[in-house]
Chain A
Amino acid sequence: MREASPEISRLRSAAAENAVPLHAQIELTHRCNLRCRHCYLHDSHDARGEELTLSELTGIFAQLAEMQTLFLAFTGGEIFLRPDAVDIIRAARRLGFACVLLTNGTLIDDRLAGRIADLQPLQVHVSLLGLEQAHDAMTMQPGSFRQTLAAMQALRSRGVKVVAKLVVTREAIADAEALRRLAAEQADETVFSTTLIPTLAGDNVGEELHVRPEELCRLSFDCKIPEFSNPGWPPEATVCNAGRGLLAVSPYGEVFPCIGFRMQLGNARETALEEIWRGEKLRQLRLLRRGDLPDCAGCDRQEYCTFCPGVAWSVAGDYRRAVPELCQKAERLRKFLDLKRGGGR
């Protein structure tokens, strides 16, 4: 994977420093035709109320455009379960947004692929959870792997950039090498991850699904884990982009700092987004620095820790706390890197 260009990095940093929501995540629905076992919505696929309509979403897009948002990520649930998904994305494109679509691909036939291509999305992201057997076992939907691959081909044949996210759990780790080769052929970009986040209800997604460091070490390709993203732990460093350069809107209009950080800031149906964005909760969050995390001072795993305030929030109800999910992740990473450095395989 390439490094972000200096220009986009500069733009992102400038946006975050000036509290400009350059990126927004729009959850179009929580409904899904699959039941992926690792999904953070695994326990929340039922509709909780009326989803934002096309006209409500168009109003939200206009507000985001005023707030200088350029990138919109449409996610679900499965976005194409909404019959008006294409109209929604078209409304966003008309307002100049660069749109990234996150989909499982299973509903994309040739016709829909053509309509998606006409929208000129920046990228379409699909998740592959293993080779056929493991993938279908994770989605709990026989045939889903083949449908997803067919969608990738239909999109790419029309010039759409497809990013394959290889989300690998312990059950699919044996497929990792072959899956990576397949993705190299079938996608324009590949992202490999073993990170699983807790569900909306705050439950850790089955410890048994997490890949063990020893297993990761056995992979022949180079897993350059976070030396890349974690330049130490300076106390004055900010924690992440959530609520600084990023905001999220749920299918019901709830506004969050990030889809992985469900601290409700307000509802776009009732309050102008700008007002929510300038509100006290986010003002406080923007002041947060690594040195303010009360449990983390002196921790010897800091250099391995990609602290996520969203996980802390969903598990402990306080985004500053070190919760076991975060510490375990840091520990797995430390062990992985120790093994790697020691040549352990």
Chain B
Amino acid sequence: MKQYYARSANTACREVLGEAVILRLPEGEMFVLNASGSVLWALLDGTRTCAQVLADFSAAYGLNNCPEAENFLAALTEAGLVALGEAKAGRDVAQYCSSAPAAYLPPEIRTRELVETLAGICISGYTGEPDQMCQTIGVGCFDAYD
């Protein structure tokens, strides 16, 4: 049975100023992916198998293969941000969560360098404190005295 990679339902995500920003729900833990991480994230729209994700990612950077991407995918899965499924899913979210890979291709393709950063800094977990957002998304500036 083929297994397709998709973003988990318990995530919120958006590409903000060129970075894929992901929140794991309900904890609100925040992950920010760098450009190459965002490219890989964009491919997780539920229409690709693991092999296809890795092949498309490598192709986007003109590589034959990319073990770092494989590790990164495993890290995303381990973090609960990616779910394996049999059905295709997630297409509607995909278009807003991260740009198509082509948009990220740097003018001079310094592929190795880009990809080598993947395992190290692509995924950075932060214990987000979204409670503080009430200052701007509750009733305006909600004074937090506590």
Contacts and interface: CB of A to CB of B under 8 A. Distances in A.
Contacts of A25: 137
Nearest to B98: A96
Question: Contact size class for A?
Answer: 35 or more
Interface string B1-36: 000000001111111110001010111101010000
Contacts of B133: 8, 23, 71, 73, 100
B93 interface: yes
Contacts of B146: 1, 180, 190-192, 221, 223-224
B142 A193 contact: yes
Contacts of A75: 138-139
A165 B134 contact: yes
A96 B96 contact: yes
B78 interface: no
Nearest to B16: A68
Given A68-B14, A97-B12, A7 B30 contact: yes
Interface stretch (A46-54, A118-126, A269-277): A118-126
A237 interface: no
A198 to B, nearest CB: 11
Contacts of A306: 141, 143
A8 B129 contact: yes
Given A65-B14, A306-B143, A165 B138 contact: yes
Interface in A110-124: 120-123
Nearest to B91: A94
Contact of A122 (B21, B32, B127, B130): B130
B12 A258 contact: no
Contacts of A161: 26-28
A102 B138 CA distance: 7
A125 B137 CA distance: 11
Nearest to A14: B17
A18 B16 CA distance: 10
Interface in A203-239: 221, 223-226, 228-229
Contacts of A99: 12
Given A70-B21, A120-B9, A123-B28, A308 B140 contact: yes
Contact of B130 (A94, A123, A159): A123
In the A-B complex, list the 9 residue pairs whose CB atoms are closest, starting with the nearest. A260-B140, A98-B12, A73-B137, A65-B96, A4-B132, A70-B14, A7-B126, A223-B145, A189-B131
